[in-house]
Each structure stands twice: as structure tokens, then as C-alpha cells.
Amino acid sequence: MSRSSTSPKWAWKIGSIRGIPLRIHATFPLVLLWAAWEWGRNGSLHTALYGMALVVALFGCVVLHELGHAFVARWRGIVVEEILLLPLGGLAQFRSPLDNPRDEFLVAVAGPLVNLALIGVLLPPTLVPLVSLTQFGLINALTTPGWQSLAFYLLLTNALLAGFNLLPIFPMDGGRMLRATLTAGLSYERATWVAVRLGQSVAVLMGLYGFFQNLWFLLMGVFLFFAAEQEMRRLAQRQLLDTAHVGNHMTRRGLTFAPSTHVHSAYLVARMSLQPIWPVVERGRLLGLVSRAAIEKAAASASRIADIMQTSYPVLTPRDTLYRAQTLLAESNSEAAAVIENGVFVGIFSVYDLMHALRQLEETPA
């Protein structure tokens, strides 16, 4: 799966792949303990360790699946924040939403294609041993510790990962591919509604089956249902932000600093002001932006504002929608953007302005 989101607090970085952080959720070790219990309760320490090895191999395939999403996203110019491993699977997380249907389809389909490629790699060298192994039954083939059963397990795992992710259940890959395809004939909003409601219907059926038969299906059904509902809330917020414009919610210049201002003097001003971002202006020309955090960090130094200001920043116009502003701030990983009209600096728009505007819009009757 893939999504745009921030990482949970209870997640730890365990490494990085091509500059993409790999993190595991704090609950992930519970999966290893469960595997050790399931495999070791009727066997030995050896079988318990083998069960844990199977889970590690499974999540190795999940990581490769998510890397498929991540590398295609990078190819499409999308910033990949991290890959997060959860007990129920993995998430490739992006800095901003995949609003372009072509990008969403290509990124979504890449994951299952990786699993199909792994099947193609694993099948030829293991086909003959597996034929003899499965003569004793599928269960024995999966539960007998050894390299041959491990190979069979990996084949089955990748087939299930590809098949399950291709189901039209939003936010699984198949659900995202469905939405991207539907936008050819429907609006983005209507395509999202169809994909989400279809996915939630399947999630309910999955949960009902799991309630009577299998706890894993119940947990997955509940997770998918609420993950799809979260997308509907994101869409509602997007529609709300698309109705308002930067010019009505920006900070119109406010207090400014000159580049020669000493940081300590700026710190004293910042302590008495609620303004989170300050333009750095000289002779009416915008030179950069400086944040409260940057001022507080350098307060004890003898620096000047010119030494700590941010000279590279996103630019908006008063006519841009708030959704455009939200997306630009996320893509640039910036706290604020300069608002320029006809080449003239007229104000700043920060994440704080965005949050304040969103609260106002949500409180305003439709």
C-alpha cells in the first residue's frame, strides 16, 4: 500500500534503502512472538525459530513490494518520506497526495508487479523440488522446516501479496488503480466515492468472515474500512480548501526584519509577537524568510538575520487556492511561502495560516 501521511510516534528507524528510511512500528515484534508461539507450541525451539524466519521472509517481500511503489514514485517526481512496517503490512509514505490519476495508477501497480517478478525469479529453480515436496500435501510442504518449504512459502507469499493487493479495496493498490481508471469518465470526487464505498463493502464482508473464522481477516477488514473512510475525510477537506484563496487568509507582510538585524534583537521581538514567520526585507525587496525556531536556536550567537534566513522558499499568488498552498508547502517541506502579486511581495502564507483558515472554513455553515 501507499499513502501520504506522517509516521506514527511509536515507530523506529532500522535502516534506509537508497535514501528511503525504513521504520517499524513498536507493535511489530508482536508478530514475531506470535509466529514463535504458533510454530513452537507443538514442536521445539528449532520450529519456533523457523516460524520467526518465515515472518521475516514475508516482511522482506513486503519491503520489496513497498520499494516498488517508492521507486516509481521517485521516477514520477514524488518525494518518498519513508517505508513503514506494521503488523498488518507495509506503507510507502509520500510527502504529498497522489492527486494525478496517472501517477496514482503507476505507483499503485508497481507493488504487485514486484511480487509477480519475484515469483518469476523463484519458480524455475524450485519447481522440481516443490513438485516432490507437495506430493506429501500442501500443509506438510508449508510446515516442514527446510529450504525447500521456505522457497514454497515465498512463492505462495508473493502470489497472495500480488492477488490481495490487486483486489479493488481502497486503499489497497487495486482500489487506487480503480479510482485512477474511473477518473477517465468520472470526476475525481465521484471516482473516489465509488472506489471507497466499494472497498468498504468488501472490507465489511472480510470483517464478518473474520469474526466467525479468522481474527486476521477481522483486523484487516476493520483497518481497511477506517483507512478508506480517512480518504473520504481527506477529500472533504480538499473540497473545502479548494473554495478559499490565499489572498483572504495570508499574513499581509506583518512585522519584518532587515538582513542586518542582530539575531538577539530579533529574539526579543519574537518573544513579544505571535507571528511565527518573518519576512526579511531590504528596500522593499524580499530577501528571505526566517522562522521563530531558527531565531530561538541562534539567539545566543552574534549572528545577523541574513546568516540564518531561508533564501529558498515556495511562492504563491493571492489567487491560489488553499489546497494548492497546502500541497506546495508539503512538497517543499516548508513552514511558509512568500505571496507575490505582479512581482511584488504582498505577504506570507504559513502552515499556521492554513490551520487557522481550515478551522474557520469548518466552522462556517455551508
**CA 143 to each of CA 42, 48, 50, 77, 125: distance values in angstroms, whole numbers, following the listed order:** 12, 11, 9, 43, 20
pLDDT of residue 6: 54
pLDDT of residue 87: 83
Q: Of 38, 66, 104, 335, which residue is the catalytic one?
A: 66
Q: Which pTM does this prediction carry? A: 0.80
Instruction: Give the residue ranges of the chain where pLDDT is below 50.
Output: none
**Residue 36, beta-bridge partner list:** none
pLDDT of residue 173: 95
**2-4: strand order across its sheet:** 2-4, 89-94, 80-86, 20-25, 11-17
pLDDT of residue 198: 94
pLDDT of residue 144: 63
The Cα–Cα gap between 122 and 5 comes to 34
Q: Is 249 within any annotated ligand binding site?
A: no
pLDDT of residue 141: 55
Q: Where are the domains of the chain?
A: 2-241, 246-363
Q: Is 65 within any annotated ligand binding site?
A: yes
Q: Which CATH number fits domain 246-363: 3.40.50.2300, 3.20.20.10, 3.30.300.30, 3.10.580.10?
A: 3.10.580.10
Q: Is position 66 annotated as part of the catalytic site?
A: yes
pLDDT of residue 158: 93
Q: Is 356 within any annotated ligand binding site?
A: no
